[in-house]
């Protein structure tokens, strides 16, 4: 198996430049590629964390807007969630909270193994971070 992810979640943000900066600060992502658009928008961005990647862009007049909405556009409810394996859930939690993440499921030890928490990002997308690794679970 390749050490690079072959599944990459895609997200839309009303303020993609702000979201990119926040995702890097709060969750530890790093910019891989950012393609700016007109009027301060982002046509396409790729952010990496470990061997994983997410793609994102500005919500607006693009072709994806007909099939994908931001949480705000659907009443503040996330229509998806992303799980990310992290080596230290407590440290990750503290970093995210310090950056303003809204914790919706508190940090805890899971019955199935691992430790983790769930939060919303600055625009309401739902993220879970934990130490449980289903690839190494028996």
Tell me what pLDDT residue 79 has: 80
Cα–Cα distance measured from residue 131 to residue 86, given in angstroms and rounded to the nearest whole number: 5
Cα–Cα distance measured from residue 22 to residue 101, given in angstroms and rounded to the nearest whole number: 10
Tell me what pLDDT residue 1 has: 47
pTM of this structure: 0.92
The structure tokens listed for 85 are 């394996």
54 secondary structure, DSSP code: E
Q: For 30-87, what is each residue's pLDDT tens digit?
A: 999 999 999 999 999 999 999 999 999 999 877 888 898 899 999 988 888 999 999 9
Query: Which domains are present in the chain?
Result: 10-130 (3.10.180.10)
User: What residues contact 94, with CB distance under 8 A and at least 6 apart?
Assistant: none
């Amino acid at each position: 198996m390749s050490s690079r992810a072959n599944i990459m979640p895609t997200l839309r943000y009303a303020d993609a430049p702000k979201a990119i900066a926040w995702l890097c600060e709060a969750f530890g992502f790093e910019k891989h590629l950012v393609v700016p658009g007109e009027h301060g928008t982002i046509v396409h961005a790729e952010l990496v964390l470990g061997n994983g990647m997410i793609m994102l862009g500005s919500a607006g007049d693009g072709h994806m807007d007909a099939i994908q909405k931001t949480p705000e556009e659907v009443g503040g409810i996330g229509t998806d969630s992303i799980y990310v394996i992290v080596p230290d859930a407590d440290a990750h939690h503290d970093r995210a909270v310090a950056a303003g993440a809204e914790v919706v499921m508190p940090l805890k030890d899971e019955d199935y193994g691992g430790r983790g928490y769930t939060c919303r990002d600055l625009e309401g997308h739902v993220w879970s971070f934990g130490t449980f690794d289903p690839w190494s679970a028996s």
